[in-house]
A and B are shown apart, each in its own frame.
Chain A
Amino acid sequence: AQSVAQPEDQVNVAEGNPLTVKCTYSVSGNPYLFWYVQYPNRGLQFLLKYITGDNLVKGSYGFEAEFNKSQTSFHLKKPSALVSDSALYFCAVRDESNTGKLIFGQGTTLQVKP
């Protein structure tokens, strides 16, 4: 069965430092992978996706993610964190039934301190 894991409930970084939010997945075929961000009392906002091609995917707000097939990972990264990046981040993988369903991880809270 397909699954997504975000091993960290919370990540703390200092402003200006690089950040990484981890995600690993399990699918039997080729994965379609997504990252979303959720600010308090808001819906989820799409950040970036990987379907095929270059393993380094660039997205919104300076975020990027690296697809690693051998490690079945899709970690979200940013070279220099901002306080305004503090939010809840979700990794997701497309369900293999191809109904459009996404399977979400449990979410990681990113806290960026000034």
Chain B
Amino acid sequence: ETGVTQTPRHLVMGMTNKKSLKCEQHLGHNAMYWYKQSAKKPLELMFVYNFKEQTENNSVPSRFSPECPNSSHLFLHLHTLQPEDSALYLCASSQDGGGREQFFGPGTRLTVL
């Protein structure tokens, strides 16, 4: 869609499982973001990475663990999630962290049983 891809697109997991979400951007950007989008709630920023360094953790529970090995890839490692963590998880990137527009991936629809 916009040069930002996310896999998988859909994920169903049990509360004891460990899984990872992957995001890749092909835009040459240096900032990457994870958002959570739940029904009837505004977008919630989770993490921000600038040049592979985490610059924002928006009080996210430790059962969500991000990883940014390089400026093109971002992971979200999941373990012992709760049913209320079911949501659409969106990845985005921007050229830098200075307030330029962000480009979003299609999201991963996560269901926790």
- Residues of A at the B interface (CB closer than 8 Å) are 32, 34, 36, 41-46, 49, 51, 90, 94-95, 98-102, 104-107
Contacts and interface: CB of A to CB of B under 8 A. Distances in A.
Given A45-B1, A45-B2, A104-B42, A99 B55 contact: yes
B101 A49 contact: yes
Given A43-B105, A46-B103, A105-B42, A99 B56 contact: yes
Interface stretch (B12-20, B61-69, B72-80, B91-99): B91-99
B1 A42 contact: yes
A101 B1 contact: no
In which size bucket is the chain B interface?
20 to 34
B97 A100 contact: yes
Contact of B94 (A36, A98, A100, A105): A100
Given A98-B97, A99-B55, A45 B102 contact: no
